[in-house]
Structure formats: structure tokens, C-alpha cells
Amino acid sequence: MKKAVSHRCVDPGQRIREKHKMRCISAFFLAVGMALLLFVCAGVWQGKNYLLAGILMLLFLFGVVVLNFEKRKPRAREIALLSTMTGLSVAANELCSHTIPLHAGTAMVVISGIALGPETGFFVGALARFVCNFFSGQGPWTPWQMFSWGLMGYLAGLCFNTIRVRGRLEEETLAGRFSLKKNTSFRLLAGPLAVIAGGEILGYLLYVWTGVQGETFWGWRVYVFGFLGLAFGIVLQRKKLPVDPVTTSVFVFLITVLVYGGIMNFAAMLMTAQSGGEVSVEALKALYVTGLPYDLMHGAGAALCMFFAGDVILQKLQRIQIKFGIGF
């Protein structure tokens, strides 16, 4: 009788190559799909179907991530850990929203992506935001918030879990990324930060040369050129980022301001169009200017939570992964 061969008995090198290929394909489809849906929502529909657009974008992201997630056949213990992290993210968010003005829920989503991988990070972010809005209020903004938190968890998983295919193949373990702290320092983070700073400087120079009189730099240029710098920094960073309080705190601050703030300000323009607002570049610029202070406070609050509690939670997750043999 022929015995079934478990997917966990497959050659580790082949498994890592397949994982790398699937993540590259998923990231490509996510980037192209998001760009097309945002263009259709703002350029074609003029914000008239913003709720439908948010739902379609969320369903598209879920579809791409679910295919990748199911391909590796997660076990029940992995699903249980995913559910636990979702519940902890909700609890942390609600605790801070009724006590101190920090954003521990945002930090927990990024922690989930770092520790458990991009697919799990996406699910934790999207599901946690959906549950949080049962307390803070559901509305047409819910799909956009789910999309933003899910994307933050996904990007955290991609940035801190780079798969090396060329040269020596590396198995992904949280313990291995913790060990980077002993031999590396802030220099690994210096590359992406330099690219982001370069993007902001380029944006400022373009503002000086081509800026309209009366228009401020502290608006859409901060988001656009910062996000472009973040994207190029992710692509150019070929080494795994060290899992230490400084690196993770800086990362959560940048991704909160640029990704969450960038998406939600865009969604705000579409939602205001239903009450007579204008869908235009000028309206978007105004929203980015007025939204920047909140986005900076949001990022700073999440970064503080990550700095003081992130390392401890990540170490606990490492112990859970080792004890129960949970991989991603």
C-alpha cells in the first residue's frame, strides 16, 4: 500500500524555493491589484461606489493571501495562534482607546507579521480591525481599515522574513532573527532609512522647484515620497532586519504613518464625496495636510508600545513556536 508523503517531508530547499516564489507572485498581484482598484475608485467611479471599492479590494487581498496561506496547509495549532493574536490585538486596541492615547493594537498587528509571517500578519490585522469596529463603530470605513491593518501585517512579515534563495538556503525561525542582535547594529536599518530620507529630500527639492505658491510641503509629498522610499528600501534590503526594539519601533512608526495614514486619508476623500465633497488631487492634498498630525501621533504611539513591549512579546512567541513546532 502506497503511503502518503507529508508536505513536511519535502526537501527543505525545495520548500523554501516554493515559498519564495509564491510570496513574490502574491506581492506582485497585490501591488498591481491595489493600484488598479484605487485608480478605478477615484478616477472612474469618482468616489460614488467607495464602499463597494473597499469591499472589492479587501476580497481581492483575502483571495491572494488565502491561496498562499492554504498552500502550505497550516495545522490547527497555527490557526489557534492566529486567533489568539487577533484577540490580543483587539484587547490591546480597546484598552488603549479607553485609557491612554497609545496604539497597542497597531503594534500587535506588526508583531504578528514579524513573528508569524506575512500571511498570518495580514489575517490578524484584517480580522482584528473588523472585531474592533464592533466596539468603536462599523461603517463604510471598516473595509478600508481592515485593508490598512492587514497590509501593515503583511508588509511586516515581508520585511522581517526575507527568504534567501541564492547561496545558502535559510530556514525561517524567529530565534534566528533574534540572534541578529548579537552581531548587527543600527547599520542594517541605515540602508532603508537612508532611502526613505532620500525620497523625502527629493520630494522637498521638487516642491522648491515646482511648488505652487501657498502650498506646503507637509502634505501629500510626505506620504508619496516617503512611501516610495519605503518600497525601494524594502526591495534593496537584502539582509534580514534585526529583531530589536529600535528597529521594530522605527519600522512600526514609518509603516503606520505612510501606509495606514496614506490609505485612510485617500478613503476619507472618497467618503466625503458622498456628502458633496470633491474627488480631486486638490482635495486629497488638503486631507493629507490635515491628517498628518494625527498620523504622526498614531505612529509615535504604536512605536512606543513596540519599544517597551514588543521584544518581550516576540520572545514569548518564539518560545511558543519552538515548543509546538510552529513554522510559517
DSSP result, 118-160 = HHHHHHHHHHHHHHHHHHH--STTHHHHHHHHHHHHHHHHHHH
- pTM higher than 0.75, yes or no? yes
User: CB under 8 Å to 139, separation ≥6 — which residues?
Assistant: 133
Which secondary-structure segment (H or E) carries 55? helix 50-71
Q: What is the pLDDT of residue 175?
A: 46
- What pLDDT does 5 receive? 43
SS3 280: coil
Q: What is the CA radius of gyration of the chain?
A: 20
Any idea which of 2-11, 50-59, 187-196 has the lowest mean pLDDT? Answer: 2-11
Residue 173 pLDDT greater than 60, yes or no: no
- First and final CA of the chain: distance in angstroms? 31
Rounded (10°) CA dihedral 293, 298, 301, 307: -110
Which of 121, 148, 131 is CA-nearest to residue 261? 148
Q: What pLDDT was estimated at residue 271?
A: 80
pLDDT at 267: 84
What is the band of 179 on the pLDDT scale with cuts at 50, 70, 90?
Answer: very low
pLDDT in tens, 188-243: 566 667 777 777 777 777 777 776 666 666 666 777 777 777 777 666 665 566 77
**Domain assignments of the chain as residue spans, ordered by start:** 78-164+172-324
CA distances (Å), 102 to each of 128, 244, 247, in order? Answer: 17, 20, 19
